[in-house]
Amino acid sequence: MMPARDDPFGTDLVPERLRDVMTALADVGAQLARLIARGGIDTDLAGSVGTNSGGDGQKALDVIADEAFMTALRHTQVRHYASEEQDDVIALNPQGTLALAIDPLDGSSNIDVNVSIGTIFSIFDAAADGKASFLRPTSEQIAGGYIIYGPQCCLVVTFGAGTHMWVLDPDTGAFVLVRQNMHVPEESTEFSINASNYRHWPRPIRAYIDDCVSGAEGPRGRNFNMRWVASLVAETHRILTRGGIFLYPSDDRKGYERGRLRMVYECAPIAFVMVQAGGGATDGCDAILGQQPDRLHARTPFVFGSLPKVARVAAYHDLPPEESALFGKRGLFRS
């Protein structure tokens, strides 16, 4: 493990009250990046170790990451810790002023195939009660972001005034600021969805994808490419960098009525990052920011990306069922 650093950022973009938390997140992120790079040499990071509270299979790295973040954050201002890998909120520093929700290892199903995986986190002001710190409007986040472990290890975060990116320098172990005030490109010909679930989707989602797949001969008048990585951080990083749209809708399968992604520690922070970069994030119809989860591991449908594309999906939902399939032919919101 690399030694902790006093300040891995060297910039005043990070609010002083969040500096110790961000330092801890960066330190653990750097340690995990090194561990992942050595995957299979030291231990089987993809080995199954059980299931979490949501019924998802846990990999060894899920548990390692959760324990590493929890240990590091005990020495910060984090009072309440909520994790995908924990059933309930964990009390850390009783004198702390912050609450942190985290998906310690997003995309763990991809560990054994060497696809980019990551960590997603959200920070709130702490309430006296642990759950109350997180069961509040998502617009009350004071920071949100992710770490992506790929060819580059990147930390992307917003503190409510733009979205910024740091890259881990493997020679020094420090995160270096490389981009400030990122902006999601509005024009892109890429969409991301798991097309194998087409038959289960709501009619507006099927209509939207049908129009994309129809390509230059269809109502959109242009060709599109589909992407699906099954790693939320990888999808987010691509869209933040070059635009496009991600869709994980609700569907008619048991357990998917409200989608599959978690509001508190997946969708809320990604929505915060996207909106602060000029993009959009909804549940298909309504903005994610401002919604209030009713339980810690609540799920939600999730659509995010380039603002015009996210708005177009919402518009499909507004049309009567008999008209949604003809949406593109009406000449609205072309591109």
Under CATH, to which class is 16-179 assigned?
Answer: alpha beta
**Model pLDDT, residue 46:** 77
The dihedral of CA 74, 155, 135, 264: what is its sign?
negative
Q: What is the pLDDT of residue 315?
A: 95
Gyration radius of the chain's alpha carbons? 20
Helices 60-73 and 19-37: angle between axes, nearest 10 degrees: 150
pLDDT at res. 1: 37
* pLDDT of 334 higher than 80: no
> Is the model's pLDDT at 98 over the cut of 90?
yes
How far apart, in whole angstroms, are the C-alpha atoms of residue 47 and residue 108?
10
Give the CB-side neighbour count of residue 315, counting CA atoms within 13 A: 15
Strands 90-91 and 98-106: unpaired
- Number of CB atoms found within 10 A of residue 51's CB: 10
Query: CB within 8 A of 173, min separation 6: which ones?
Result: 2, 3, 5, 30
Tokens 């989608």 sit at which residue?
A: 259
* Statement: residue 220 has pLDDT above 80: yes
DSSP state of 112: G
Residue 5 reports pLDDT greater than 50? no
Q: Please give the class, per CATH, of domain 190-329.
A: alpha beta
H or E element, residue 192: strand 190-192
At residue 332 the predicted structure's pLDDT band, cuts being 50, 70 and 90, is very low
**CB atoms < 10 A from the CB of 258, how many?**
13
Q: Where are the domains of the chain?
A: 16-179, 190-329
pTM over 0.75: yes
| CA atoms lying within 13 Å on the CB side of residue 163 | 24
Q: In whole angstroms, what separates CA 33 from the centre of its chain?
A: 18
Cα–Cα dist 295/115, whole Å = 31
107 backbone φψ class: left, alpha, beta (φ>0; ψ -120 to 50): left
CB-based contact 52:84 (threshold 8 Å): yes
- Integer Cα distance of 171 and 333 in angstroms: 47
pLDDT in tens, 162-190: 999 999 999 999 999 999 999 999 999 99
Give the model's confidence band at 294: pLDDT under 50 very low, under 70 low, under 90 confident, else very high: very high
For the stretch 126-160, pLDDT in tens is 999 999 999 999 999 999 999 999 999 999 999 99
Other CB atoms within 10 Å distance of the CB of residue 87: 11
* Count of residues in the chain: 335
Q: What is the pLDDT of residue 238?
A: 98
Cα–Cα distance measured from residue 93 to residue 180, given in angstroms and rounded to the nearest whole number:
32
